[in-house]
Chains A and B, each alone.
Chain A
């Protein structure tokens, strides 16, 4: 029961920012004339922002870049990290494992934001470029965590038994080792999405991938800080949306992975 409730709560928390982000731009309509900065009311439902734009409209417009970039970057990071981790967990060739994992360690040593800023200053990437960059800096962490979980599963007698049965690499790696590492992977994915959102938001606020006055939740939080006590909504609403998205994702993953208790037969009467 509690699992179901947690699932519903997570779903609701994820749905609001996700729907706003993806469908928002369709309903935003014309930008309209700019009003006075940081006002409440006056025909503006959530007031106006630091340059007098309607906050509600900015909220509708500003989610897409953040959410899509973060989701794409997370997915991309795992797309690289999971195969690398499974391969290195299941190989008995030391050199192959070193070849797969050591370059990632080098990347891990470079501060991620520094790397993003450095590349951005040379190439000035768009949203897609930003997603690629953020994915790249997340691959080492993700690969190491998946590798650790998969390594534990790969050392179990079950893997040897599967080899004894002549099972294919694919079936052992994905069907057993990957599946055993799934819980760890999902737990990591929840945290990673949060981290990626933070990174994308930070990059956006530093002007990488988006214009400094763009309609973007992260940019909104930063630029409207100055008027926080005059007009809190311009900061609180986008900030809450980002928080809801990350918390909801974590709850959703937790609920989805809640283990059904198996009754051990050995302890049965």
Chain B
């Protein structure tokens, strides 16, 4: 095509202001057909606001200056981070898509409309990488996986003839295999000449997909350019920090193997709804001062394992031993000392805090309840711990709603640490955080292992092999089975089980930045 260089949408000097604060300032963006333009940056850097500006959507009460121009006809499609939120749960997929196809076939005779509409729907679905979708059309949105929901939203946009698709964090919280599928799907859509605006803090995905990258910070574009140039020669300091893929080092010097394990699992079989077996782990041991990573795809039973250990999932057989003594299955039957010994940090920090009380107060309660110290002392200790984890006292006095995801995750860690635990279970605590924040949290975790006289042990539940590198040992779960476990270096360099091999390969392929 000759007019490849003509942008289908363009933003010039966009400035969006709320209550006098600029959340986006001086942003320029050219969206080219068939190209992937990525906006990267930490959460709150203005990515979503810029992306939504292409749809003429602004936050309520915003003052907008600058120009947003769209040359192509047809609307701009938007695929949100949580696609379920934009699909009417009471209607089948076929109805959701037919509603959009019907108006386009109105010119045809009545008898032919139904067939023509169905053909349009099927073509949109296959364009959105959902071929053979007859069966899928009969389902309701909640019967689809997250990835399928995403593709149905994509199909809706394509049905409407969108020439530009804004994809907001399409891979957040997904495992490597799912991620590579999303990458392939977006690449296929771009190959059809549709412009894609990718809003993401997942740099692996950006690297694999993007042609043009804009790095945003605090509402401004600090650097932009072709993806390849940006990766090889970043000009701005912030870009360098963002791209700094430096990993937490594998610790193998002091490997704590000697003595009795602090936590031991024997013949654990966990069930859901009293029937389906969700997890089977014959033996798993955690030694004092050790960090164990449990990896697997979503739905592989990692969270169930963590919840069994913490006493949050009662439906299981087998034994969980703390220092050789069996722990009660439900935490309601665990003594205060047992509760304090095994602490759990939740994936969604925001949902795990009481929204009505200040963070500091909630953090301090752990020490009051589990260690029986008085309120004032507990608050002082909470304050010290929070500051030590990088959360200033000024923020700790606020309500959870006023803190960011990363800040809340630090507070959640502090809340668990105030119990002076022997084992800390971290369930996907870094998913959904941008690279800089994630690295901060991982550094904190790395510093915690082996801390204190009790030698804190860590169980890291993660789908991310990079995070798993922090550990001493790795246990791999696939479809509820513990398929492999061993020292981190051995598992990562010489995986024995086929599933581990495929997980490793996908991760490497994503990192290498090749479109598959």
Contact = CB atoms under 8 A, between A and B. Distances in A.
Interface of A: 92, 156-158, 160-167, 175-176, 179, 262-269
Nearest to B369: A166
A167 B365 contact: yes
B116 interface: no
Contact of A165 (B22, B366, B402): B366
A163 B407 CA distance: 22
A161 B415 contact: yes
**What size tier do the contact residues of chain B reach?**
35 or more
A224 B44 CA distance: 66
Nearest 10 A/B pairs, CB to CB: A166-B369, A262-B401, A157-B352, A161-B352, A269-B23, A269-B21, A157-B351, A165-B366, A157-B346, A166-B370
A114 to B, nearest CB: 35
Contact of A262 (B331, B354, B366, B402): B402
B137 interface: no
Interface string B372-407: 000000000000000000000000000101111101
Given A157-B346, A165-B419, 18 more contacts: A157-B348, A161-B346, A161-B353, A163-B312, A164-B344, A164-B416, A165-B339, A165-B366, A165-B369, A166-B336, A166-B370, A264-B402, A265-B404, A266-B43, A267-B44, A267-B59, A269-B44, A269-B46
Nearest to B18: A269
Contacts of A92: 314, 330
Contacts of A269: 21-23, 44, 46, 218-219
B343 interface: yes
Contacts of B314: 92
11 contacts: A157-B348, A157-B351, A161-B353, A163-B332, A164-B312, A165-B369, A165-B415, A166-B340, A166-B369, A267-B23, A269-B44
Contacts of A179: 356
B40 interface: no
A24 B343 CA distance: 61
Interface string B332-347: 1000100110011010
Given A157-B348, A158-B352, A268-B21, A164 B401 contact: no
Nearest to A182: B356
B125 to A, nearest CB: 34
Nearest to B342: A164
Given A156-B351, A176-B354, A266 B332 contact: no
Task: Please indicate which of the listed interface residues A176, A263, A264, A266 has the most CB atoms of chain B within 10 Å of its own CB.
Answer: A266
A121 to B, nearest CB: 45
A92 B402 CA distance: 33
Given A157-B351, A165-B370, A266 B336 contact: no
Majority-rule SS of A interface residues: helix
B44 A166 contact: no
B310 interface: yes
Contacts of B356: 176, 179
A165 B59 CA distance: 38
A264 B369 contact: no
Nearest to B398: A265
A163 B331 contact: yes
A160 B44 contact: no
B429 to A, nearest CB: 12
Interface string B73-109: 0000000000000000000000000000000000000
Interface in B219-248: 219
Contacts of B416: 164
Contacts of B401: 262, 264-265
Contact of A164 (B21, B46, B343): B343
Contacts of B312: 160, 163-164
Contacts of A163: 312, 331-332
Contacts of B405: 266
Contacts of B330: 92
B243 to A, nearest CB: 23
Given A157-B346, A165-B365, A165-B370, A266 B415 contact: no
Nearest to A161: B352
Contacts of B354: 158, 162, 175-176
A164 B355 CA distance: 17
A92 B21 CA distance: 48
Task: Please indicate which of the listed interface residues A92, A164, A265, A268 has the most CB atoms of chain B within 10 Å of its own CB.
Answer: A164
Contact of B351 (A158, A162, A175): A158
Contacts of A175: 354
B44 A167 contact: no
Interface string B42-55: 01101000000000
Nearest to A262: B401
Task: Please indicate which of the listed interface residues A157, A163, A263, A264 has the most CB atoms of chain B within 10 Å of its own CB.
Answer: A157
B331 A164 contact: yes
A258 to B, nearest CB: 15
B451 to A, nearest CB: 20
Contacts of B412: 161
Contacts of A262: 399, 401-402
A265 B402 contact: yes
A167 B364 CA distance: 12
A156 to B, nearest CB: 6
Contacts of A158: 351-355
Task: Please indicate which of the listed interface residues B22, B314, B339 has the most CB atoms of chain A within 10 Å of its own CB.
Answer: B339
A261 to B, nearest CB: 10
Contacts of A165: 339, 365-366, 369-370, 415, 419
Contacts of A160: 312, 344, 346, 352
A158 B355 CA distance: 9
A265 B403 contact: yes
Contacts of B370: 165-166
Nearest to B406: A266
Contacts of B343: 164
A263 B416 CA distance: 27
A266 B365 CA distance: 26
A262 B356 CA distance: 11
Contacts of B403: 265
B404 A266 contact: yes
Nearest to B338: A166
A167 B344 CA distance: 15
Interface in B1-42: 21-23
A264 B43 CA distance: 12
A262 to B, nearest CB: 4
Contacts of A268: 21, 23, 44
B425 to A, nearest CB: 10
A179 B354 CA distance: 10
A166 B402 contact: no
A260 to B, nearest CB: 10
B309 to A, nearest CB: 12
Contacts of B336: 166
Contacts of B369: 165-167
